[in-house]
Amino acid sequence: MLRFLIGCVAALMLAAPAAAADGFPSRPIVMLVAVAPGGTLDTLARQIASGLTTELGQSVVVENTTGAGGLIGYQRLMKSEPDGYTLMFSNMSLAIIPLLYPTAHVDPVRDLSPIGMVATVPMVLSVSNRSGLTSLPEMLKRMRSGGPKLNFGSGGPGTTAHLGEGLFLHISKTQGELIQYRGSGPAIADLMAGTIDAVIDQTVTMLPLHKDKRIRAIAVSSPQRLPQLPDVPTFAEGGLPAFDLAIWNGVVAPRNTPKPVVDRIAAALSKVLDSPQYKSRIDQLAAIIPDAAQRGPAPMSAMLAKDVKEVASLAKQIGLTPQQ
């Protein structure tokens, strides 16, 4: 009898995750974005949420949960039930959060169930029209002249824009004033208004604004000029070949999310990446969609673990300091 009961319990334990996936999803899904609306993360998240809504047959609703360079959104995800109904859209900034907030004791490798990457995006250095700058060499000359410091806006401590701007100042051996916002959207709004001089962010947000002449893009981190931005030189052309930062973006769930649920979302996500609508939109924004070998939980887990180590080294080089 005891063996029979043990066998029944074991069978139920094995069946539970599969049963959860069979009925998943049965209600709307929340996708957290840890920055304000209007930036790259928010733009890509809404593209993915729309596609997943179609593929999963339930609404996927983006909720912006801002503060502390992504830590507030991260902590909200950690407090949610690991059932697939609360996800987060993020990027390699996940690897920066533990360095900036060591007392929060977060570990993205331990805490998260990666679902899959959706795009890798080059970085673009853009300046305000009011700045009068027209090229990277001209900017570097001004920054090295000993005059007033140029100010750079970023999406806040720990964001990829913050990392990119710190890396830019380190590589160029220049100084600038870093102004932190609650997301790239507000920073770019001030860039268009001429309130700040420059922003380094992904092509997703910068490309349309450059084409509309609301800002001026002066350098891109791709190896060659982008077909979508043929008039914008690379950082290498401008004299900074070491600045080659590109940002991956993807979807994660809390740890202990059942594997069948993760696999269900990952399969739907892959279909979104293959859809003509997503391919067309991502190509317009000069982003790169992961191929089959780069999709799913395992490749994203490997990338996250790699970046946690590499970003820690980079943070020390460029002088990123803890925020608490």
Mean pLDDT of 276-281: 94
- DSSP letters, 148-209, are SPPEEEESSTTSHHHHHHHHHHHHHT---EEEE-SSHHHHHHHHHHTSSSEEEEEHHHHHHH
Average pLDDT, the chain: 90
pLDDT at 1 over 50: yes
Q: pLDDT digit string (tens) for 44-91?
A: 999 999 999 999 999 999 999 988 878 999 999 999 999 999 999 999
pTM of the model as a whole: 0.83
Which tokens sit at 175? 């100084």
Secondary-structure breakdown of the chain: helix, strand, coil percentages, each rounded to the nearest 5: 50, 20, 30
Q: Taking Cα atoms as reference points, which of 51, 284, 44, 288 lies closest to residue 184?
A: 44
> Which position has the higher pLDDT, 313 or 268?
268
Those residues whose C-beta lies under 8 Å from the C-beta of residue 286, and which sit 6 or more positions away, are 121, 122, 203, 207, 222, 226, 227, 228, 229
Cβ proximity of 84 and 267 under 8 Å: no
Q: Is the pLDDT of residue 7 over 70?
A: no
- What's the pLDDT score for residue 3? 55
So what's the pLDDT on residue 248?
94
pLDDT confidence tier of residue 9, bands split at 50, 70 and 90? very low
Stretch (H or E) spanning 139: helix 136-143
Amino acid at 127: V
Q: Which domains occur in the chain, in start order?
A: 29-120+249-318 (3.40.190.150), 122-238 (3.40.190.10)
**Segment 186-202 mean pLDDT:** 95
Q: How many CB atoms lie within 10 A of CB 59?
A: 14
Contact partners, residue 10, CB within 8 Å, separation at least 6: none
